[in-house]
Chains A and B, each alone.
Chain A
Amino acid sequence: MSAGIVTYGGYVPRYRIRPKEIGAVWGADGEAMGRGLNIKAKSVPGPDEDVITISVEAARAAMARVDLDPTDIGAIYVGSESHPYAVKPTATVVAEAIGAAPVMTAADFEFACKAGTAAMQTCMGLTLSKMYKYGMAIGSDTSQGAPGDALEYSASAGGAAFVIGTDRMIATIDHTVSYTTDTPDFWRREGQRYPSHGGRFTGEPAYFKHVVSCAQLLFKRAGTTAEDYEYAVFHQPNGKFPVRAGKQLGFKDGQMDTGLLVRDIGNTYSGAIMLGLCAILDEAEAGDRIFAMGYGSGAGSDGFDLTVTDEIRKIRRDVRSIRDMVKDSAFIDYATYAKYRGKIAMKEAAV
C-alpha cells in the first residue's frame, strides 16, 4: 500500500518587484544580480497577507478541486520560517478556515525551506498507519531578506497545500527518502528579524551536497534514472542551483521547466518546491512520473518519487492554475515594497 497526493492547491501573491528596482535603491547593479540569480522578478505579499492568509488560500484551493469532507482531515501541518506568531499556530487557523476543526490535530513545522515536504512525509506516515484518513501538509512563506542583502533579490512569498491519503490519490508517492546533516548554511535566531547566511557556503557543501546525495539515494531506492521521469522539480532558491543540480543528475531542461517558477516569482522558501509540484500536477497526465527533491538549510533534503494516477481526471482542473497566478502580476516600486513589507517605521498604534 502506498500513500499519495489526494488534492493540491497553491497561492502566489500578485505583487512583484524586479531586481533592477531593488538594486537601484542600494547602488547595486540589480539587473546583473537578477541575471546572476536567473530571477526576473519576485513575488511580494500584499499588506494584508502573511503565512496564515497564504496557507488558507492554498488549503482552500486544494479543497476546491475535490469533494472531500474536511472533517476527514485528521491532521494539518504548516511548514514555514515566517509564521506570524512565535507562539500560536498557523495550522489551527487553516483548520478552522477549511472546516477541519475541532476533532483533529494541528501543528506548525520549521525546517527552513523544507518544512512543507517534512509535513508531507509526516502525513504519509499518519495515513499509512491508519491513524487518520487524510492529512494536510502546507509549505508557505513570506520570506525575509535584509534590506540591501543578496537575499533581498530572491526572498519572496507563496505557498502550497497537499492533502495526503491512501485512497483517491491523483499521484502515488512510491518512494520517499531524506538526507539530513547539521550544516549551518543559513539561520535566524529567535527575535532576529532577518536571517544570516554563509554566502557561497550555501552552495556546494549545503544545497548541492544534500540535493545530489538525496537524489542519488532516491534513484537507488526507486531503481530509476533521470530518464524515467516526465517531470523533475527541485527546491529553487534561485534559477541556477536547481538547473545545475538537475543537469548533474541527468535531467534535461524539458523535464525541469514546468516546475521552475523561481525565475518569475523568486524563492518562496517552504512554498518553492511544493508550488513547482502543483504547477506540474496542473498539466501532468496519468502515468507520468515526477521526481521532486526539496532542500532546507540547516540542512536536509526530502526526495519523492511520484506517479500520476487515473484519479487526476476526476479532480477539477478548470480552477485557477499556478501558471495563471504566476502571470497575474502587478509590479511595484521599492517604496511600495518597503511599505508592504513593513520596512517603514510607523507611529505605533495605541494599545
Chain B
Amino acid sequence: MRDVAIIGVGETPFGELWDYSFRDLGIEAGLKAIQDAKVTAEEIDAVYVGNMSAGKFIDQEHVSALVADYAGLADMHLPTVRVEGGGACGAVALLQARMAIASGMYDVVVVGGAEKMTDVGEVQAAEILSSTADQEWESVFGATFAGLYAMMARRHMHEFGTTREHMGAVAVKNHKNGALNPVAQFQKEITLETVLQSPWVAEPLGLFDCAPLSDGAAAIVLCAMDAARRYTDAPIRIAGSGQASDFLALHDRRDLTTMDATVVAGKRAFAEAKVEPRDIQVAEVHDNFTITEILAIEDLKFVEKGKGGPATVDGVTALNGKVSVNTSGGLKARGQPVGATGVAQAVEIVRQLRGEAGKRQVVGARRGLTHTLGGTGATAVVHIFERGA
C-alpha cells in the first residue's frame, strides 16, 4: 500500500452564505485547493465529494459530476464519486480517496466536502439532520438530533457527575478558538453565562451547546507520497485511518456514554500510525453538541473516561494545552456544513502541521488527528496526519 500525502487545501468561509449556491461553494474550495497544490487539471485522476443531503437541502442529487463540471473539469471526463455517511461523509470520502491512491489506481485525487443548508427553514434543516438517526425507531417517534444527544448528556451527567458548566466550557473554548479563525462562522468569544442562560434546545443542551446550521465547503488534493515533493515542500502524510460503524439507533448501543465506533476507529487509526494518543498535539473532533466533544476526547483516550468535562475546564484541550482540540473553532464556532466537516477538519490539521494557522497556531504541532461522526455515532472516522519526512 502506497503512502499518501496531502499537497493542497482550500476552504470557503463558513456561515449563512446568502450569496453562495452549492456549486459556488464547491468551486471556491476546490479551486483554492488545486491552486494550493499547484496541480494541473490534466494531472487529476479522480474527484471524491462528501455530501450528506443535497437532495433534501437543495433538491440536487448527482453532486459529484456537478462539482467536477463547475470546477472546469467536465471535459477531462474524470471518475467522480459522491460519498454519503451522515455527518462523517467528508471524512469517509477522504478515506476512500486515500485508498484509491494507496492501491496504485490513481496518483492525484481531489476530495471535496460541501453542504448548503440555509436554503431551507430551520425546522426543515433539523428534520434533515435527524434523518441520519434511525427513522423507524427514533425520528418517527419525535426524537430530534438534539434530543438524542441530550440523552447521552443526561446519562454522562448521571454516571460521571458531568455538569452543564463542564459542557459549557467546550463551547467557550471553541468560540475562543473560532475568534482566531478568519473563516469561522462565529468569530466572537462567549462567556460561560451565555451558554448556561441560553434557551433550551433539548434539556440539558441549551442553544449555545449546539453547533449551527451552516453553508460551506472544503477541499483537499491528495497524491502519492513519493510524488508529493514535486508539488510542495511540506507534504502532510496520512499516517493512519480508521473507520467504524455501530448500531444506528441509540437504544441498541452497549453504552450511552461511550461511542464504540469512535473507540474502534481510533484504535485502528492509532495502530496503523503506530502512535499513541499522547503523540498527538492537535485534534479536530466532532462537536456538533458540547457533550459530543467530551465523549470524543474520552473515547479517543486523550483523557480518562468520565473526565472529559473537568479536563476541558482545566484547559487540557485548550489552545496549546496538553492536546489542542478544535483549534478551528470546531463545528460549534467554525460552523457545521455537514458534508464539509470531515474535509474542513483535515484542512485545519494540515494548516497546523504546516505552521500556517496564524494566531491559533499550536506550538510544535507535528502530528494531528481528525474525528468525525455520522448520525449519533453509528459511523466514526479517525485520521492521523503527520508532517512529511
Contact = CB atoms under 8 A, between A and B. Distances in A.
Interface stretch (A64-72, A98-106, A196-204, A307-315): A196-204
Interface in A169-196: 196
B199 A200 contact: no
Nearest to A209: B18
A198 B118 CA distance: 9
B199 A199 contact: no
A205 interface: yes
Contacts of A204: 18
Contacts of B16: 200-201
Nearest to A32: B199
Nearest to B199: A29
Contacts of A29: 199
Contacts of B304: none
Interface residues on A, range: under 10
B18 A205 contact: yes
B122 interface: yes
B42 to A, nearest CB: 39
Contacts of B122: 199
A196 B18 CA distance: 17
A199 B118 CA distance: 10
Nearest to A199: B122
A199 B199 CA distance: 18
B18 A201 contact: yes
A196 B16 CA distance: 19
Interface string B118-146: 10011000000000000000000000000
Contacts of A199: 121-122
Interface string B169-182: 00000000000000
Nearest to B19: A205
Contacts of A205: 18-19
Nearest to A28: B199
Contacts of A198: 121
B123 to A, nearest CB: 10
A56 B16 CA distance: 43
A19 to B, nearest CB: 15
Interface in B183-238: 199
B244 to A, nearest CB: 37
Most buried by A among B18, B19, B118: B18
A201 B121 CA distance: 10
A32 B200 CA distance: 14
A111 B357 CA distance: 48
Interface in B103-123: 118, 121-122
A224 B121 CA distance: 40
A198 B18 CA distance: 11
Contacts of B19: 205
A31 to B, nearest CB: 12
Interface string A262-305: 00000000000000000000000000000000000000000000
A196 B118 CA distance: 15
A275 B121 CA distance: 32
Contacts of B118: 201
Given A196-B121, A199-B122, A204-B18, 9 more contacts: A29-B199, A32-B199, A198-B121, A199-B121, A200-B16, A201-B16, A201-B18, A201-B118, A205-B19
The 10 A-B residue pairs with the shortest CB-CB distance in the complex, in nearest-first order: A205-B18, A200-B16, A201-B18, A199-B122, A29-B199, A199-B121, A204-B18, A205-B19, A201-B118, A201-B16
13 contacts: A29-B199, A32-B199, A196-B121, A198-B121, A199-B121, A199-B122, A200-B16, A201-B16, A201-B18, A201-B118, A204-B18, A205-B18, A205-B19
